[in-house]
Amino acid sequence: MTVWRRRPGPLLTVAIGACAALLLCGSAWAADPAISLPGMQIRMGAAGNGGDMSTAVRILLGLTVLSLAPGILMSMTAFVRIVIVLSMLRHALGMQQTPPNTVVVSLALFLTFFTMAPTLTRINQEGLHPYMAGRMNAEVAVGKAVTPLRDFMVRQTREQDLALMVELAKVALPTTIDDISMVQLIPAFMLSELRAAFQIGFVIFLPFLLVDLIVSSALMALGMMMVPPASISLPLKILMFVLIDGWDLVVRALLGTFS
């Protein structure tokens, strides 16, 4: 009588090999819980002191700040007002893609750093530097770092917007400005920034609108109905903007609103 024995398939062979490898690795780790690789060494064990944990916490906090950086930049700094005003200036000139978005955002970003320089210096001196030097814990450092940013937002926030957010939150009326939480202060600050940006944009639009009206009236008087007014007014607006040194005037007026 012939007995047919089925040969093990490839999946069973791989599984048996993996189990053997795990057993060998377990024996090796039990003897010496460290793995040596070219240029690095991995030790399988608990942390020996608090310094490693402190370094890990710092790395975690740094990665968290980097992930939240765009939101912080958009909601808690002067970036909102600056980028909106520059975008409205581009539309007032009649050029939809010039300067390109990359240039507008980059200019707004560096103007934001310039505007926020005193606040960032206070954050570094009062919160970040003492924490990195080990003179205060993370909780105290965060409180010290938030205070300069909070002071900046309070100075730029209207009372009406702040009262609106407190009313919508349905909480007790705060007795002092310190009783207002960041959850209420941040949207109120953004509403105030939007209002200020649109006010500045309206003032910027007026002279360019006047040029458009003059060009349209001149073309109507000459009977040139088929000539698009934008083709005549656009070079005139660019020439006028360059002659009056418009970029310096806009930046000076825009950054002056934060003082």
Instruction: Judge whether 234 and 215 are in contact, CB under 8 Å.
Output: no
d(CA 228, CA 215): 10
pLDDT for res 207? 86
The H or E element spanning position 79 is helix 79-93
What single-letter DSSP state applies at residue 177?
G
Can you spell out the DSSP letters for 87-124?
HHHHHHHT-SSSS-HHHHHHHHHHHHHHHTHHHHHHHI
Instruction: Judge whether 253 and 236 are in contact, CB under 8 Å.
Output: no
Instruction: Judge whether 153 and 187 are in contact, CB under 8 Å.
Output: no
Each residue of 94-153: pLDDT tens digit?
887 888 888 888 888 899 888 888 888 888 887 777 777 777 777 777 777 788 888 888
> Is the dihedral angle over the CA atoms 201, 202, 208, 209 positive or is it negative?
positive
What does residue 8 show for φ and ψ, rounded to 5 degrees? Answer: -65, 135
Matching residue, tokens 């690795």: 25
- In order of 178, 204, 210, the CA distances from 251 in angstroms are 32, 12, 22
d(CA 85, CA 249): 13
For residue 41, list its beta bridge partners.
Answer: 36
pTM of the model: 0.68
- In this prediction, residues 11-18 reach a mean pLDDT of 47
Provide the token pair at 139: 């909780």
Q: H helices then E strands: how many in the chain?
A: 11, 2
Q: Which sequence spans correspond to the domains of the chain?
A: 55-200
d(CA 191, CA 80): 10
Please state, rounded to an integer, the average pLDDT across all residues of the chain.
Answer: 75
Each residue of 145-195: pLDDT tens digit?
788 888 888 888 888 888 888 888 887 777 777 778 888 888 889 899 999
More confident residue, 45 or 224: 224
